[in-house]
Amino acid sequence: MKAEQTNRASGYVPFPGPVVAVILDGMGMGPKDGSDGVHVAHTPVLDSLLGTGLFTPLKAHGLAVGLPSDGDMGNSEVGHNALGAGRIFSQGAKLVNEALDSGRIFEGATWARVLEQARQGGVVHFIGMVSDGNVHSHIDQLFKLIDRCVLEGITTVRVHGLLDGRDVAAKSGLHYFRALEEKLAAASVEGRDYRIASGGGRMVTTMDRYNADWRIVERGWQAHVLGEGRFFPSATAAIQTYYDEDPEQTDQYMDSFVIAEEGQPVGTIEDGDAVILFNYRGDRAVEISRAFDEVEFREFDRRRYPRVFYAGMMQYDGDARIPNHYLVEPPAISGTLGEYLCEQGVSSYAISETQKFGHVTYFWNGNRSGYIDEQLERYVEIPSDRVPFDQRPWMKAEEITVAVIQAIAEGRHKFIRLNYANGDMVGHTGVESSVRIAVETVDLCLGRLLEAVKKAGGIVLVTADHGNADCMWTEKNGQRLPMVAHTRNPVPCVIQDYNQANGFALAPVEQPGLANVAATLCTLLGLTPPAHFEPSLLCLEA
């Protein structure tokens, strides 16, 4: 007897249509005032869905997605991990904090190699984002690494710092880089030389993702490795100059810079050095890691390839082994929803545009690249446009919608998942008119998608991975300040059943969160959820 038969839920009545999970990336449930981009947008489809479907809010931040505290905002990586894994794992910041607090991070072979390079005369370089946004990195973790370098007697350290302005305030770079400069200056005693060597805004320097624009990584390589770029005497001088030259300048889009003395960069990366990428989130760490790790590299002309020991804070892609060396073991996520559906013979289809493609595949599948079962799965990536997202806020929602409608009509896939990236990517720009257009675009496309699901007699589950567009600005001292970071607001989860073959009802789940969605999808598909999943949000009425 097949596993598919033994795991069927008792009393469930099969139906012909698909189960479609729609992730409205970055569209949380805000305060329903003028700052709430989801509320002020014209969203008749979403409003109707929330009024007629089975609805519950979900927690999408903090402890509910494995982060250190409920003060931590959610993000797309941990959100999709929770959605696809069906349970909560210690994530990014929490894993790194635990390794730093216990000292475990300094006990492995990777840190030993860093020390070996330093004791043979190599410089220790740290590359990463300098903020306390706690999504890709945290400045406190960098400070602990610097403290350890002092303790170990490492004489020369260089930091290549990337400005955030996305998970923190849009123009907060001076605050973090002043603190970093003070930290390094305090360490530069007793023969030690610790300095910032280069930097730039995260969206134009180093931190590209999903092969969207390798020019971003090339720009980082030029600044960090080659020492090429605009010269400044200090990082804070660079940031202040860019602010002064363009009052509209925000941190995430700031040009790269190089710190120089007497016309020479102070911290190029050379043979024999050690390089640590101290970001812990994977999506924007893979490409720069490849540039350091791959001998045969063709994405751009590196011009000079220093023989260094390179390590990531974590291994950002376990299947592809990127990078080869890392300080902290990633969460071991097995038994995901994707694996379970493949075991049960359920065919599935996953789609998004480039900016979120890895979220509905790699992160959804527990930080695993590639197909679980290529015979049962189909993954589709729609290439994202290479323009600022506020200039094209509709992004690729239309193309995604057309592809999904076609997949529904073909009837080959019982489970379909898709991600509309607009609410998050445009929400990060802080441009209010563009945020409204982004949300309205998603709503328009959602309406067409629902009609296709209805025609096929299927079921749709609509949710989000975290908030963003639900807060476009905050007020301080009577002034509106753009809000470009994620929020800690709950996200909606609404189920619309267009076939009524089964009597679904909301189950009494305490403090429901994103991790409950996987079991809920099992319920909709007529499968008994695995015992290790968080409970389903639904039950079958007798």
**Residues acting as catalytic residues:** 76
Phi/psi class of residue 366: alpha, beta or left (left: φ > 0; alpha: ψ in -120 to 50)? left
* % helix, strand, coil for the chain, step of 5: 35, 20, 45
3-class secondary structure for 148-164?
HHHHCCCCEEEEEEEEC
CA-to-CA distance for 411 and 320, rounded, in angstroms? Answer: 32
The dihedral through the CA atoms of 127, 130, 133, 139 has a sign that is positive
Q: Which two tokens stand for residue 258?
A: 């190089």
Gap between the Cα atoms of 106 and 114, Å rounded: 10
Other CB atoms within 10 A of residue 454 CB:
15
Torsion angle defined by CA atoms of residues 360, 362, 363 and 366, in that order, rounded to the nearest 10 degrees: 120
CA distance 343 to 377: 12
Long-range contacts of 384-392 (CB under 8 A, 24+ apart): 384/212, 384/353, 384/354, 384/355, 384/421, 386/212, 386/213, 388/253, 388/429, 389/425, 389/426, 389/428, 389/429, 389/434, 389/438, 390/426, 390/429, 390/431, 390/434, 391/434
Strand residue runs (E) in 325-390 = 326-328, 348-353, 377-382
Name which of 524, 514, 518, 526 is nearest 344 in CA terms: 526
| β-bridge partners, 317 | 322
Token pair listed for 166? 């996305």
* Residue 109 burial by Cβ neighbours in a 10 Å radius (0-12, 13-18, 19+): exposed
Query: What length does the chain have?
Result: 542
Give the amino acid at 374: E
- Residue 350 sits at the vertex; the CA angle it makes with 345 and 355, to the nearest 5 degrees, is 155
Residue type, 140: D
What's the gap between Cα 63 and its chain centre?
A: 17
Over the range 186-204, which residues count as b (16 or more CB within 10 Å of their CB) and which as e?
A: ebbeeeeebbbbbbbbbbb
β-bridge partners, 205: none
**Other C-beta atoms lying within 10 Å of the C-beta of residue 357:** 25
* 28 touches 60 (CB < 8 A): yes
Cα distance between residue 77 and residue 361, in whole Å? 11
Angle at 82 between CA 76 and CA 87, to 5 degrees: 165
